Chains A and B, each alone.
Chain A
């Protein structure tokens, strides 16, 4: 299997712009997670889905953040409008039996 796929790998954008991060989970996995990693706060869970349904989005920092999972093989995390404090590495992970497999991450820089 190709593992979890994320795109883009790097994104540089200006404050106020919309950013969309994409994730393709491992086929057959029924859980999908979005994390954000920064030096200050570490690895934080933003939202997770089970069978394409959002289960808990309490980690989403603000209304500027939204996530969707229209089908079992695709999810997006959108930030609109983006701010410099959103700069971080965003990971997507998928899971079948508790073990979470992380994608390579998207490094987002908002200037």
Chain B
């Protein structure tokens, strides 16, 4: 079952914040976040494992609530370089490398 991402698209001005959500109808073990720029390969951002931990680097962080089967990606003080499509990929088993990706959230940061 493909996870559902929301919103589908968002436009921000530089410096604004955004939240991208990812929810699944299945119990999750891990959530992975990737960013893809047009015409390029997806780039790994971070992984969150079962345990409800929150992670982050620079001004991008994420949380994982396995009880709600949801994850959120937080982008603060957005920069032009944050533009792209963000995907969440989910796995349901410990040790499982098999990911099911959402359809993506297109983020556009404008000056």
Contacts and interface: CB of A to CB of B under 8 A. Distances in A.
Contact of B43 (A45, A95, A102): A102
- Chain A interface mostly: strand
Contact size class for A? 20 to 34
A103 B98 contact: no
Contacts of B99: 45, 100
A101 interface: yes
Interface of B: 2, 30, 32, 40-44, 47, 87, 89, 97-104
Interface in A14-43: 31, 33, 42-43
A45 B100 CA distance: 7
B98 A98 contact: no
Interface of A: 31, 33, 42-45, 48, 50, 55-56, 91, 95, 98-105
Given A43-B101, A48-B97, A100 B40 contact: no
